[in-house]
Each structure stands twice: as C-alpha cells, then as structure tokens.
Structure 1
C-alpha cells in the first residue's frame, strides 16, 4: 500500500492535507465487521479497507486516528484529521458543516441477548425498556425519536443509556444492564453471528452513510477515486464482502457551497 503511494505523485496540494503525503482519517474501531481491531491489534473492516484504497489511488499514505465518535466533527473542523471514516450518517445539517460523500446505505437494528427474553418484535414492544447506544451519533438521535413516538402514543418511553462506543453498549447488554442495544444493521448482524445476541428488529430509519472531508478539494478527489473504483468493479466487490448496499449512481459530494 505505502509502496504504491510512494511510486506516484499526488495531485492533492499540501495545503489541503493535515500532513504532507498522508491521508489522515479518524475512525472509531468498535463496529465489527465495518471497523474493528483484531486480536493482533490491527485495524480491520470494510471502512478501513476503503480508506486504504482511496489513499492509494490518491498517492497518499493512509493513516488512522482511533478516537470516539464525539470527537469526530470537532476534530475535523479544527484540522486534526482530513477525513471522518467511521460510518457517519449523512444529514443535510451535517453537510452544511463539512463535505460529505454518501456512499453506503445503512439502517438501524435493535439487538437483544440470545433468545429475546423481553419478547421485542415491534418498536412498540420497546416501551418501558432500557436501551444502550453510542453517544452523539445518528443512532442516539433515532433512539430519542423512538422515545418521543412512544410517549406520543400514550405509552412508556425508553430509558436511554449512552456509551462511548457500541462495544461498551453490547457489554452492558450481555451483563443484563440493558434490555436492548441500538446500532447499525451490519454490526447487529455481526454480534449475532458471534453468538450471545439476537437481531430482533432491523431496517429501521434507512439513511445514507458517508465519508466526511475537511475541504472541498480533497472531497472531490476522493469522489473521483470512488468513481474509479465503481468503474473497475472493486467498490462493489469490497461492499459485497460485508453485505453492504452501496448508494446508487456516481459518487458525489454534498457540503458547504455545493
């Protein structure tokens, strides 16, 4: 990967990068199989591979900064990294703050411990239940919307417990401290595959997932790299390995003044 980058010359000016010759990406590696740390301590997952491939095609060295989601947007805007590569959900409000590249379709699942002891089969069954979710993300926002919807129906709301990451939320679920966890479909499926958990609801609130770049010039170069991957088939091949649905059409950038 690094050898390939060193053999070509990037067209990205130094002023558009946090670190000369590198593409610095923030990531929260607690969402297997999309982004996680393996037993040897190495970053793995679909989004890691995607970031590495984009960097290679831009003739840059991929560098990842492991951090919690709550630091992502402030860190991007203050110039700590070039790109948020953690599966950030796209919203028009966020696109007013940074240059977003929606590329992946994701939705939200509800996970329980194996056997679904609470008998959760619909969102109404969550009334009065305690749920865990990563703090500050789209998933927390949707959990709070579910809470409001239940209250509006005259039902008990949710007790929402926030965690620094989804790994901690699933640990609390396993320990019996929660009735359910709220996360993306792919992560819920992976935890169910590993054993100990069931996905009892999925496909809720389907929303595009994006990369987010610090500046327009870098974002547009990344979009070109992804479009090249789409043309040669490597983009679809990568997402297929993880059962992820791509956004249809050519990759585009949405951001301030675009």
Structure 2
C-alpha cells in the first residue's frame, strides 16, 4: 500500500488547503527538535489518551498516495491507513481524524516537531526509521514493482537487472522506501532519478528521463488507471518485503502503547478485513507480519 490519483497541480492546492485545516484544528504532539519549528499550539510533554480525547481530533501526516492514503474530492482523508486510524481512534474515544499532505522525507521530522500526532501514510518500516519512531504492529504489507514503457522493452524484472546495466535510469520518490532500496545497491552515477511525487515519476518515464519508476505494486496499478501509457511489472522478487503501521514520536510512548493495544484488538475484527479488502490489501498478511521482521529492511 486503488483510487483516482490527483494531478500534481491539484495535489499542491489540496496540500495547502489540508495543511491549513489541520493547523486551524490545533495540532499537538511533542516539542520541536530544532529542525522544524513546533506547530503553533503544540502541547509538549507527549501525547496522552486523555489529551487526545479532550482535543477530539487525531492529526495524521499522509502522502496522498492511494491505496495507502487519499484525499477525497470533499477534502476528507481516506485510504487504507487513515481508515484504520479512524476506526481505532473511535474505539479509543477520539472522534475525528484530520490529515496533512507532506513529502515522505518530511514526515518524521514533522512528527518530532509536533506538526502532527502520528504518521499514517504507508511509511514503510526500515532500520533508519525504526530507530527514530515508535511503530505500531503492521497494518499493511506490500510488494514493489516497476512502471515501465508499454511492452517492457528493457525487460526489467528485478533490482539486479538495474545494477547490471549502468545505462538504466530508475525514478523514485524523494525520501521514499524505494529510494532506500536503490541506495542499498551499487549503481552508476545518474541511474537514480529522484522525483517529488508519483505524477512526476510517470512524466519522467513518459519523457524518457527514466526507464522505469519504482513504487509499490498497488500504487502503480492505481496510477495506471488514471495516467495510462505504461505497464506494471510483477512483484520484484529481490526487493524487500515492505509494510507499515502508524508511527508515533518516541515522546508519545504511552499513547502509542494504548493505541497499539486497541489496534491489535481491531485487527481481529471483520471490519479490519473489510478495510483491507476495500483497498486491495491482505488482512492476514498484516496479522502475520511483525515490526521486528519489517524493521530489518536496510536503509
């Protein structure tokens, strides 16, 4: 971790509107870390269940990348991860969930700075991230694929295919899990093409600035429905198993533990199965996966 993907220009406008709404709602979490100023009204001292109930809203960072997260036409937040957060929050007595669209490489710094209470964006677990935040148990488990020109003329199927041919260029999202995959292998200079969002990745592919676009399989499948003009390969066999849950600041351990306990109960319900099925994910895969396993991914 499909629905219509928002074009780049619209995404930027929605991001600005959503950010404004989130700030007006009054975001709280831990104090700033010196890299990003703490949000106005940030409570400090760590998020607690009591504080969250009193506030009545859980603010989440999202990427607007279906099926993981999505901004609906009316501005509401949905997608696999936000839908699970909303259900768990409700069980905890927290009525509302509001989202802020942000780049992946800004999600953890923003969490530390108190700009949102949690990240629920398909922020895949890996060593560098797991050392900075508290992840809940897995909510989604995913695979990776390449978007390639129709017919896959370069016959790309694996990461090894990329390392063997120094002329191949692969687009990845800045700060995304996939950039970490490429950073973990030996590539020639210029093989990695960093893009700001999914639509830009497709444009790089179509304009021949990249031979492939590396992204989760379901994300590419959804993107193909709206953008077209490319094929999606089968799941890449030598890419690591990926998965995510909600991520909390280390100062919010008490809240994270309470949330995770409620999440574990929720994962045993048919409602969890329904949410996963709606967005194309396997509920049993999420139940079987562990944080320890997924956090072993390098990067």
Under TM normalisation by the shorter chain, which class is it? 0.7 to 0.9
Stretches of structure 1 that go unaligned for 5 or more consecutive residues are 1-10
Q: Report the secondary structure of 2:258's partner residue.
A: helix
Q: Which residue in 2 is equivalent to 1:6?
A: none
1:33 maps onto 2:67 in alignment: yes
C-alpha change, 1:41 and 1:171, in structure 2 (3 Å) is farther
The answer on whether the counterparts of 1:18 and 1:82 sit within 8 Å (CA) in structure 2 is no
The one of 214, 221, 227 aligned to 2:264: 227
1:48-197 matched pairs, under 5 angstroms: 48-60=82-94, 61-103=96-138, 104-126=140-162, 127=165, 128-146=167-185, 148=186, 159-194=191-226, 195-197=228-230
Aligned length, in residue pairs: 234
Q: Report the secondary structure of 1:99's partner residue.
A: strand
Write the distance in 1 (CA, Å) between the matches of 2:133 and 2:87.
Answer: 22
Cα RMSD of the aligned pairs, angstroms, is: 2.7
Q: How much has 1:221 moved relative to structure 2? A: 2.1
Normalising by structure 2, report the TM-score: 0.69
Q: Which residue in 2 is equivalent to 1:217?
A: 254
Write the distance in 1 (CA, Å) between the matches of 2:262 and 2:290.
Answer: 9
Q: Report the secondary structure of 2:55's partner residue.
A: coil
Normalized per residue, the structure richer in strand is 1
Write the distance in 1 (CA, Å) between the matches of 2:173 and 2:50.
Answer: 35
The answer on whether the counterparts of 1:18 and 1:79 sit within 8 Å (CA) in structure 2 is no
Normalising by structure 1, report the TM-score: 0.79
Q: How much has 1:47 moved relative to structure 2? A: 2.0
C-alpha change, 1:121 and 1:66, in structure 2 (3 Å) is closer
